[in-house]
Amino acid sequence: MPHTPASTASYTQGATLPALHDITIGQALEQAARQWGEREALVIAHQEVRWSWTELLRRSDALAAGLLALGLEPGDRVGIWAPNCAEWTLMQFATARAGLILVNINPAYRSNELAYALNKVSCKALVLAPALKSSNYIEILRSLAPELDAQAPGQLQAAALPHLRWAIRLGEERTAGMLAFDDVPALAGAAERAQLAAIAARLRPTDPINIQFTSGTTGFPKGATLTHRNILNNGFFVGEAIRLTPQDRLCIPVPLYHCFGMVMGNLACVTHGCAMVYPSEAFDPLAVLHTVQAERCTALYGVPTMFIAVLDHPLFSTIDLSSLRTGIMAGSPCPIEVMKRVQSQMHMHEVTIAYGMTETSPVSTQSAVDDPVDRRVSTVGRVQPHLEVQIVDTDNRVVPRGVVGELCTRGYSVMLGYWDDAEKTREAIDAEGWMHTGDLATMDAEGYVNIVGRLKDMVIRGGENVYPREVEEFYYRHPKVQDVQVVGVPDPRFGEVLCACVVLKAGEKATPQELQDFARGQIAHYKVPAYFEFVDAFPMTITGKIQKFVLRDAMVAKLNLKAAATA
C-alpha cells in the first residue's frame, strides 16, 4: 500500500487506489446479488438461516417495500433495537434500499436512554426484539408508551415519545399496539414496489443513511450521522486490508448495532462476496468456537476481551480452528501478549489491528496482513486509503514524529456531523475538516501509529505525564496477570498516582507488593502503580470497551480517596 514518504512531521496520507465506491449501499447489494448470486451471504445456525446473496436482496426489497407501505418516506428515521439476528441485517439493507435512516439503538439501553435516542432524532418507527438477557424490551417500551395498549399499530400517540408512530416487534407472538415484523413485507403491493424502484434511482451516496449514538461517557450520547459513502467505503477498505474474497467466511460475534459489526462486518462482506456468519445473539465464547469449527470460518472479529475469553475457554483445546486465516482485533487497545496468542494458538497469522471511532465510519488506520509481526502487535498500523491522519499538540500544530499528541483524521470517512447538534459538531470537526479523536498517539518514521491513551485518561503525576496503556502493556508480561487496567486516582502529594486493577489468571494468587516489585528497575519509578486492586472483571460497554471512568470512580471510593479528589 503506497504511502507518502517519511518526513519529520506526524502527518501521512493513504493510497489513492483502488478508487472510492461512488454508489449506495442498496446498489452494492444489487451488485453482490448479480456477481455472487447463489453463494452464501448470511449464515445464522440458531435461526436456521442460510441465505444466498440473491435471497438476501429479495428479502431486503420485500421488507423495504413493506416499510414504505407503512407511510415511511426517504429521510425518515427508523430505530432498530435488537441483538444480532437476521432481522437486524434485513433492516440494514432494507432501509438503505428505501432511503430511510437506520438508527442503531444499543441493546443495553434502558428506558431513559431509549427515550432520549428516539426523541433526539425523531424516530417514526422502532423495530424491537421482545427481550435480551435481563432486558424485556417490550415492557421497557410499554413503560414509556402505555398508550400502545389502546391504539392500533401505526396510530401511536405517546406523550413521552411524540414522534413515534410504529412499534414493530420480532418473534411469532402478538403484542397490543405493535405490528409483527414478519407481516411487514406482505403489506406492500405493486405501487410500493414501483415507489421503491423510483427511490433507488434518486438516492445519492452522500445521503445520510445511519445514525449511531456515541457511548456518552460525558454528557448525553451524540448521534453520529453517517452516509452511504462513509460506511460502504470503510467496509470495503477494511475488507481489502484483510484480503477478503468470495471464498472467505467471516465470523461476526461483535454487535451489529456498532460499526464493528454492521460496517466492518456486513459491509466488508457485501463488497467482497464473503459470507456473514453470526455465532449467537450476543457474544458467547463457546458459540464462537463451535461456529468457527462448524462453518469453517476463515476470518474472525473481536475486541481484546472477546479474544481473551475465547483463548481461556476450558474447551479451547478441543476445537479445530485450523480454518482461520485472518481477522481484526479492535474496539479498544490490544494487549501485545493477547495478539501473539491469537496468532500462534488460533491460526490467525494474518490477523490485523484496526483503529477508529464511530464518527469516522469507523476505521482510520489498520495494520496489513504482511506487516512485520512486531508492527502488527505493537501499533494500530498505517492510514487507510483516501484518508489523512496527523498528530497535533494542544495548539493544533503538527508534532514531530515520535512525539505524543492528539490523533486527527480527515477524508471520506468523517461523519456529516452529530444529528441536530451543530455546536458539538464544531467541537469535534475543525474548520479544515479534521476530526479530533481525543486519542493520544505517536507516529513513527514509516507512518505506523501507536495509541498511547485518551486525552482524558492521561495521568499527570507530580508533573510527569503517564500513559496508562504503557503500564498496562508492561503488566501483561507478568505470568499471573490475565488482564489489567490502569487508572489515575487522586493523591495529596502528587496530584494523581496510578492504580492498577488486575484480573489474575485462574488459580493464581498475588500480592500488591509482588506486583510492585515486578516493576522496580524495569519501568520509571513514577510509572509504578501506588495501588493494586484485584478484581474479577471490568465495567464495560456492550461493545467490549472498558469504562475507565467507572473503574476510576469505583477505585476512588474503595480506597477512600474522596477527600483528596481533584477535578
Instruction: Please write the tens of the pLDDT for every residue from 17-30.
Output: 999 999 999 999 99
Tell me what the mean pLDDT of segment 188-202 comes to. Answer: 97
152 lies in a domain?
yes
Indicate the SS3 state at residue 364. strand
Residues 6 or more apart in contact with residue 6 via CB below 8 angstroms: 401, 445, 446, 447
Task: Report the amino acid identity of residue 231.
Answer: I
Is the same domain home to 264 and 308?
Answer: yes
408 in the same domain as 316:
yes
68-82, 334-348, 380-394: the lowest-pLDDT one? 334-348
Q: What is the pLDDT of residue 543?
A: 65
One domain, residues 156 and 81: yes
Q: Pairing mode, if any, of strands 101-104 and 77-81?
A: parallel
Question: What is the model's pTM?
Answer: 0.86
Residues 310 and 438 in one domain: yes
Give the burial string for 271-280 (b: 16+ CB within 10 Å, else e): bbbbbbbbbb
pLDDT tier, 437 (very low <50, low <70, confident <90, very high otherwise) = very high
Q: What are the grid coordinates assigned to 87, written together?
A: 432481522
Q: Quick one: residue 515, left, alpha or beta (phi over 0 = left, psi -120 to 50 = alpha)? A: alpha
Given a cut of 60, is residue 387 above it in pLDDT?
yes
d(CA 91, CA 324): 29
CA–CA gap between residue 111 and residue 119 (Å, rounded) = 12
pLDDT category of residue 2 using cuts at 50, 70 and 90: very low
Each residue's pLDDT tens digit, 281-298:
999 999 999 999 999 999
Q: Are residues 231 and 147 in the same domain?
A: no
Return d(Cα 146, Cα 561) in angstroms, integer: 44
Average pLDDT (230-246) is 98
Query: Of the candidates 419, 454, 489, which is a domain's last residue?
Result: 454
Query: Do residue 317 and residue 423 come from a single domain?
Result: yes
Q: Please compute the mean of the pLDDT values over residues 154-163 and round it to a whole number.
A: 98
Question: Are 261 and 254 in contact, with CB atoms under 8 Å apart?
Answer: yes
The rounded distance, in Å, linking the Cα atoms of 317 and 187 is 50
Final residue of a domain: which of 148, 169, 203? 203
Q: Are strands 179-180 and 166-169 parallel, antiparallel or unpaired?
A: parallel
Residue 133, pLDDT above cutoff 90: no
362-386 pLDDT, tens digit per residue, is 999 999 999 988 888 889 999 999 9
Same domain, 263 and 130: no
On whether residue 35 sits in a domain, the answer given is no
Provide the pLDDT confidence category of residue 6 given band limits of 50, 70 and 90. low
pLDDT of 564 > 50? The answer is no
CATH number of the CATH domain containing 67: 3.40.50.980
> For the residues 315-334, what does the mean pLDDT come to?
92
Asked if 347 and 334 count as a contact pair (C-beta separation under 8 A), the reply is: no
| φ/ψ of residue 266, rounded to 5 | -60, -45
pLDDT of residue 4: 42
36 contacts 53 by C-beta, under 8 angstroms: yes
> Is residue 5 scored above 70 in pLDDT?
no
The CATH number of residue 541's host domain is: 3.30.300.30
- Residue 482 located in a structural domain: yes
Sheet holding 531-534, edge to edge: 481-491, 495-504, 531-534
Q: How far apart are CA 169 and CA 166, in angstroms?
A: 10
- Residue 123 shares a structural domain with residue 255: no
Distance between CA atoms of 168 and 482, rounded to whole angstroms? 43
Residues 182 and 231 in one domain: no
> Which among 203, 232, 255 is the end of a domain?
203
228 shares a domain with 178: no
Which of 481, 454, 448, 482 shows the shortest CA–CA distance to 468? 454
Percent of the chain at pLDDT > 70 equals 96
Q: Is residue 208 part of a domain?
A: no
Q: Which residue has the higher pLDDT, 215 or 309?
A: 309
CATH number of the domain enclosing 318: 3.40.50.12780
22-71 residue pLDDT tens: 999 999 999 999 999 999 999 999 999 999 999 999 999 999 999 999 99
Average pLDDT, the chain: 93
Three-state DSSP string of 242-259? CCCCCCCEEECCCCCCCH
| Domain presence at residue 266 | yes
Residue 459 pLDDT: 85
pLDDT at 566 over 50: no
Report, as an integer, the average pLDDT of 235-243.
98
pLDDT at 285: 97
Residues 146 and 250 in one domain: no
pLDDT for the residue numbered 1? 39
DSSP line for 497-537: EEEEEEEEPTT----HHHHHHHHBTTB-GGGS-SEEEE-S-
Report the DSSP beta bridge partners of residue 390: 11, 408
User: How many domains does the chain fold into?
Assistant: 3
CB 411 within 8 Å of CB 388: yes
**250 in the same domain as 141:** no
Residue 545 belongs to some domain of the structure: yes
In the numeric block, which cell numbers belong to residue 515? 506486583
DSSP symbols for 534-555: E-S---B-TTS-B-HHHHHHHH
Would residue 72 count as lying in a domain? Answer: yes
Amino acid at 82: A
pLDDT at 373: 83
Percent of the chain with pLDDT over 90: 81
C-alpha pair distances (Å), 64 with each of 71, 184, 226, 550:
11, 9, 20, 41
Q: How far apart are CA 359 and CA 316, in angstroms?
A: 36
Domain encompassing residue 101: 56-203
On whether residue 428 sits in a domain, the answer given is yes
